[in-house]
Structure 1
Amino acid sequence: MSLIPAVLKDETLRADIDQTVPVSGVVIWWLGQSTFLVKARDGCVLFDPYLSDSLTRKYHDTDKPHVRMTELAIRGDQLTGVDLVTSTHNHTDHLDAETLGPLIDANPNITMVIPEANRAFVAKRIGCVADWPIGLNDSESRVVGTMTIHAVPAAHNTVDRDEMGRCKYLGYVVEIDGTTVYHSGDTLLYPGMAELLRPFAVDVAILPINGHRPERRVSGNLFGDQAAQLAKEIGAKVVIPCHFDMFTFNTESPKLFVETCEAIGQPYRVMRCGEPFKVA
Structure 2
Amino acid sequence: MNETKMQEKRLNYLLEEFKADSGKYKNMKIPDNMGEKQRILRSLMNIRMPKKMPDEVIKVQDEYLSFCAEEKGIVTLSEIPVIKENLSIWQGDITRLQVDAIVNAANSQMLGCFVPMHTCIDNQIHTFAGVQLREECNCRMEKLREKYGRDYEQPTAIPMLTDAYNLPAKKVIHIVGPIVNAELTSESEKDLEDCYTNTLDMCLENGLKSVAFCCISTGVFHFPNKRAAEIATETAAQWSLKHPDAMERIIFNVFKDEDKKYYEELLR
TM-score range, shorter chain: 0.3 to 0.5
Structure with greater proportional helix content? 2
TM-score with structure 1 setting the length: 0.34
TM-score when scaled to structure 2? 0.36
**Structure showing the higher strand proportion among its residues:** 1
Query: Based on CA coordinates, which of the two structures has the bigger radius of gyration?
Result: 2
